[in-house]
Structures are given as structure tokens and as C-alpha cells.
Amino acid sequence: MNVQPGLDPFLSLEAPLPRPRRRHGFRLTVLAAVVLGIGFVGLRYLYPHGVEGEILRPGMLDVELQGPGTLAALTEASVASRIQARIKELAVDRNDVVGKGEILARLAFDDLSGEVEAAEASAHAAERGVGAAQAERDRAVATLEQARATHERQVALLAKGVSSAAGLEDALAARRQAEADVARAGRAIEQAEAEHDAANARIAVARVQLDDSVLRAPISGVVVSRTRHVGDVLAPGSELLHLVDPASLVLTARLDESAISAIRPGQAAEITFTRAEGTIRGHVLRLGREVDRETREFEIDIALDTIPANWALGQRAMARIIIERRGPLLTVPTSFLVWRDGRPGVWVASRGRARWREVTLGDAGARRVEIRGGLDAGQEILKPDDLYPFMRVRLAGAAS
């Protein structure tokens, strides 16, 4: 047997070498993991957690519908020019309150005053022409009467044989000439009167145009927009100012067509504007009679009981319409609902443990919904914040 120098010859070459002992550290690690696991399980399933919730009791439910809307006005007017002219003066600006008939702006139309004066002068001249034509007719009528008398006298004298036929013919010719003069004078009067009427018409047109150069408020209200400045040229039909009567403000809300049978004029409503604190009360004023072919929604106008301190046309808001008040019913806050696979449910505390319970829903309000099946009065329902099945819970207080 070959033995290496320095080695004990009685030691077998196949004997294992000694290994370092690590079992103690491994056991500590396992023990720590077990302790942590027990602590986690205990904290998760044995220690009771305080959870907000409420005890289910019958109560009244306001059945409501809600939909988005925008602020509009039933009475508004666009102030525009009917002539092309330059803006000479603007008496109002945005947010100014104006009364009906108040002057809003003046347009520079210097030729209008001259046109009115020229038309008035023509009317005066035509009026004098009418007077002269009437005087000429009066003279012609007098001459005709004299010619008739002379003609009748010549006829009588000729019958007695005192006058000649030539004298009768001269008298007849004079009578016919006088009759023609009367007819001509009548036509002259008609022409003079027509010229007078035409002059008056030109005066009316010029005055209307002159009035058009002064823009007045067609309604009482507030100036919500101004699109031009002093010195700009307005084309006919171009809007200068837009007026709105604040008393006619309404919220035009949109609802699904399935709700049309439940809406009635006069129903109470609450309106909440975007980023606004509090609500404004109102009532349904009227229903639209047309459904949008794409969205399948119809519109309703809601009158406001009070006007917001700050408002703007087109401002967005959410409308809630109270359809009816029902009860007593079992209801839960809508925020308590938890959906699983398309089925509604609520977390309940059963024997100190959190359990999800499937429910059957009924009518809905803005903040609560009717429970028609799945829960009984007196049960503790929980706000679904960080809950899990069989979690140890205790009711800590009412949920906000």
C-alpha cells in the first residue's frame, strides 16, 4: 500500500473530509420565515380591521335621471348692420347691461344727411307743382264753363234765325278746346302728385338708411360678445354685438330616449356646473321633440331658479331630474357597489368577516340605489376600500 508522506497510514483514502456546520443558520432563517408568515396571516385574517360602512335600514329614495348639458338662452339677439359703413362710435362693450332701444353704436354715413335734404327739397318742389297744376285746372274749368254757355247761346240764336252757322261752329270749337284744356290740366295734376309721392318715398328711404346708421338694442340684456372695433367697416349682415337676456337662461340637457316617458314639465331639477361648488335648483321647462339619430338622445330645457354669479353661454353642467320619491326601500350608496363578471354586489360583514354578496338592483338615485334582493335589513354593509374575502372586520363608522 502506497501511503503519501505525512499521512496517517491507518486513515482510509475513501473516508469523507469534515464539512462546516451550517444547519443552525438555516433553521433560524426558516424559523423567521414561519414567524413572518404567521404574523402576516394573523394580521390579514385574525386581527380585526376597522372599516367604514353602515347598517342597512329602509329609507326613502329619490328616483332621478341625470345627463350632461350646456347653458343656453331662449332670448338672444344679434346686432348687425343693414348697410355697409364704417363704425364711428361704440357705446357699449362686453358684459355691459343695456335696455331695449338703447343706442349701441353709430355708423359713419355722411351722404345720408345730404340725401335726406335733397329728397325733402324735391318733395317741396313737387308739392308746389301740384298746386300750380290744380290752379291751371281751375282756370281751364272756368274757361270750359264759359265756352259751354257761349255754345248753348249760339244754338238758341241759330234756332231763332238770329245767328249764323259759322258762329255756332266757332262756339263749338271753343268748347271742345276748353274741354281738352281741362283734361290736360287733370293729367298735369296726376303727374305732379306722382312726383310728390316719389319724393316722399325717397325721403322715407333716406330716413330709414339714416336710422340704420344708428344701431339700437333690440332686446334688454347683457352684451356677451363684440366682434368689431371703431374704424372697422361693417358689411351688410355682419354681426357687431350679441345680446342675451339673463332671465331667459336655461340648461339644455341631453338624456337617453328611454327616459322620455318619465320626464314632465315642472319636475324639480338640480344643476351642478363644472368645477363649481354647490348646486342650483331649477325645473323642467320643456321637452325636445326630436331624437338624435346617432346618439339616440333627446334634449330638455331646464329653467334656473337663480342665475349664477358668473355664467357663459355654452358652459357645461350636469343636470339631475327628480322623477319621484319612493319608499321606504332598502338602499345602498352607489359607491358601495362592486361588479364581478358583470354582476353587481356589495361587501357585507358576516360573523366578523368580509364577504362579497351578489345583489339585485332596482331604481337608482344620484347617490343611492335600491336593493331588491340579496340583502336584508340590519346587515352591515362595507365601503369597498382594500377589502378581500374573509378579512376580519369591524364596523368603524358611517362612510362619507
312-332 pLDDT, tens digit each? 999 999 999 988 888 899 999
Give the pLDDT confidence score for residue 102 in this predicted structure. 94
Q: Which residue has the cell 330709414?
A: 208
Q: What DSSP designation does 237 have?
A: T
Give the single-character DSSP code of 10. T
pLDDT at 131 (0 to 100): 72
More confident site: 309 or 136: 309
**pLDDT tens-place string over residues 30-57:** 666 555 555 444 455 556 788 888 999 9
The whole-chain average pLDDT of the chain stands at: 80
Give residue-wise pLDDT tens across range 353-369.
889 999 999 888 778 89
The CATH number that domain 49-61+328-395 falls under is 2.40.420.20
With a cut of 90, say whether residue 303 has pLDDT above it: yes
In this structure, is the dihedral angle defined by the CA atoms of residues 108, 112, 114 and 116, taken in order, positive or negative? negative
Give the CATH number of domain 66-73+245-325.
2.40.30.170
Model pTM score:
0.58
DSSP string, 332-357: EEGGG-EEETTEEEEEEEETTEEEEE
pLDDT at 280 over 60: yes
Q: Kind of pairing, strands 233-234 and 221-226?
A: unpaired
Say which residue, 301 or 16, is predicted with more confidence: 301
pLDDT at position 142 over 80: no
Provide the pLDDT for residue 3.
Answer: 46
Domain 85-108+215-243: give its CATH code.
2.40.50.100
| 354 closest CA partner among 338, 334, 333, 332 | 338
Given this model, what pLDDT does residue 158 score? 65
- pLDDT bracket for residue 107 (50, 70, 90): confident
* Digit-coded pLDDT (tens) for 342-398: 999 999 998 888 899 999 998 887 788 999 999 999 999 999 888 888 888 888 766
pLDDT in tens, 202-239: 767 777 767 778 899 999 999 999 999 998 988 888 89
